Amino acid sequence: MSDLPSIDILDPDLDAIADAEGHVCVFLSGDGKLDKMARRVNRLTRGALERLAAGERFGKLKDGQSISLAYPSGMAAEALHVVRLERRTKGTPAREAGASLGAVLGKSGALILSPGLKGLHDVILGTLLRAYAFDAHMTGDDKHTVGDLRVMTSDAEIAERVDTLRALASGVHFTRDLVNEPSNILTTTEFANRLEALSALEINVEVLEEDDLERLGMRTLLAVGQGSESPSKVVVMEWAGGGSEKPIALIGKGVVFDTGGISLKPAAGMEDMTMDMGGAGTVAGVMQALAMRKAQANVIGIVGLVENMPDGKAQRPGDVVTSMKGDTVEVINTDAEGRLVLCDVMWYAQERFEPVAMVDLATLTGAVIIALGHENTGVFSNNDDFAKAFLNAAEAEGEGAWRLPLGPGYDKQLKSRFADMKNVGGRPAGSVTAAQFLARFVKDDTPWIHLDIAGTASIASGTTLSPKGATGWGVLALNRLIADGYEG
């Protein structure tokens, strides 16, 4: 599992800069003006900082971008990172500035020099987010290790924010670890075990086994996993930090591996289906972050854990299954299994907890990638105010999200000759009809958002804030949604 670097907040000590080992990060505004720490670095390097600031290359940098100087003369550092960042810049550019440092953070750690940068907390968070590697199954000597992150600043409030920053980064890393984990390791049982370990953070965790799910009538969920040797499970996580208020519910699709079942996927690229539990992974990361920062809110996280395999016992195209709600579903395609998992868990969450609002997350459709690529998650909602609150939270955190439509006109694509509905509506508007299917399992008085994260949960090329693979998308946005709207 990925380890976060420790964070040490240091009082300004100009004399200590020369002897700082590892990486040193200094900030310059667009006009090249040097603060007192930058002036000391410039003096140590015999004017190198001033010459760089006056050069054409620095002038072309955008806010948050950097230039690195290896083994700067006059300093013990192995690299000096010169970042163009305006003093008042916050948010995405400041996080990207930190990410450039986090990407190269090694055993010797780093020193950030900032006497008065307004977005310093974002720089630190960006560094923590990018200082990640999934190497749990590597046996060589090049395993990813990071040293301490030292921050020299006169900003007294930064020390007070460190615990929250670590909580957020830890939640993102936990999500990434889960999503990156191979399916022979992260079975449904192992996934449940890792979630049970969250009880150490005072999260109440309950695991519902197949007998429990059968008694509850979760037969659409059970049908997905009936061809697998791994038992289907539902894990309920409760964080009670908000007094007597009813909770907000987060629901996650946790298909630990998706072959497509009898409607078998093509072999090419099937290895990527280890990430089909990305929704459940995000819910887990949010719950961990909330608990670590002691959020003053009541939040329920519920994930359905199954494996979709072809077998003599597997469900078939043409089967009719009955949901916990009581609606019947004709299974046209066994590779449209995620909505069968979610619909039962969503109904269970509403019946048991009566949440004030509900968000589900799932790597649900390839269609959303065709529509939005890997830049934005598809957002569907039955409530404009709730949708706007989430979109504002996602924008504030730099996590791309775009609202797509719902409407009764799409229902005709889900009509079945044999049951209340089909589980697929054909190729046209595939991500919309999937959301329209889920909408049938949302009670009229429940504000609801469906997040199709198929394009954002894991990205082969990586992003500015994450290496190749799992991104942890959604942990920050959902944390902010809860902080802004549900904490007392």
* pLDDT single digits (tens) 459-487: 999 999 999 999 999 999 999 999 999 99
Give 5-39 pLDDT, tens digit per residue: 899 999 999 999 999 999 999 999 988 889 999 99
Structure tokens at 472: 């942890």
Question: Would you list the DSSP string of 150-206?
Answer: EEE-S-THHHHHHHHHHHHHHHHHHHHHHHHS-TTTS-HHHHHHHHHGGGGGT-EEE
Span 234-274, pLDDT tens digits: 999 999 999 899 999 999 999 999 999 999 999 999 999 99
pLDDT at 141 over 80: no
| CATH 3.40.50.10440 holds for 7-151 | no
Q: Are 286 and 171 in contact (CB under 8 A)?
A: yes
pTM: 0.97
Report whether pLDDT(107) > 90.
no
CATH classification number, 170-485, choose in 3.40.1640.10, 1.10.1840.10, 3.20.19.10, 3.40.630.10: 3.40.630.10
Q: Could you read off the pLDDT of 326-370 as tens digits, one per residue?
A: 999 999 999 999 999 999 999 999 999 999 999 999 999 999 999
Residue scoring higher pLDDT (140 or 133):
133
Average pLDDT over residues 420-449: 98
Task: Please identify every residue annotated as catalytic.
Answer: 265, 339
Angle at 318 between CA 313 and CA 324, to 5 degrees: 75
Q: How far is CA 273 from the centre of its chain?
A: 17
Angstrom distance (rounded) from CA 154 to CA 246:
41
What residues contact residue 123 under an 8 Å CB cut-off, 6+ apart?
A: 85, 94, 95, 97, 98, 101, 112, 114, 117
| DSSP single-letter state for residue 353 | H
**C-alpha span between 378 and 371 (Å, rounded):** 9
Distance CA 64, CA 55 (A): 17
Would you state the pLDDT for residue 1?
58
Question: In this model, does residue 144 exceed pLDDT 90?
Answer: no
Is the confidence at residue 140, as pLDDT, over 90? no
Give the burial class of 147: count Cβ atoms within 10 A of its Cβ; 0-12 exposed, 13-18 middle, 19 or more buried: middle
Instruction: For the chain, give every residue range classified as CATH 3.40.220.10.
Output: 7-151
pLDDT surpassing 70 at residue 122: yes
Cβ 111 vs Cβ 23: under 8 Å: yes
Positions of CATH 3.40.630.10 in the chain: 170-485
8 A C-beta contact, residue 111 and residue 80: no
Q: How confident is the model at residue 139 (pLDDT cuts 50, 70, 90)?
A: confident
pLDDT > 70: percent of the chain: 99
Residue-wise pLDDT for 361-414, tens only, equals 999 999 999 999 999 999 999 999 999 999 999 999 999 999 999 999 999 999
Q: With contact defined as beta carbons under 8 Å apart, do 249 and 357 qualify?
A: yes
Which pLDDT band, with edges at 50, 70 and 90, does 116 fall under?
Answer: confident
- pLDDT score of 2: 66
